[in-house]
Structure 1
Amino acid sequence: MKRLAFFILIITFLISCSGTKEMSKAILTETTWQLKSLNGDAELSGFSKKIPHINFTEDDRVSGNTGCNSFNGAYSNSTNKGTIVFSRMVSTKMYCDGVPESEFLGALNQVNTIKKSKDELIFLDNDKTIMVFVPKE
Structure 2
Amino acid sequence: MTTAEFIVGSLSGVVIVALFICIGITLYLGYFQGEQMCEHFKNSSSIITSATHKHSGPYGKMQLVGGISFVLTFPRFFLKHGIVNAQDIENLPIDLRRKLIALQWCFITVFSSMVILASLWTSGVLRH
Question: Normalization by structure 1: what TM-score?
Answer: 0.26
Bigger-Rg structure (1/2): 1
- Higher relative contact order (Cα pairs below 8 Å, separated by 6+ residues): 2
- Structure with the higher helix share, 1 or 2: 2
Question: Normalization by structure 2: what TM-score?
Answer: 0.27
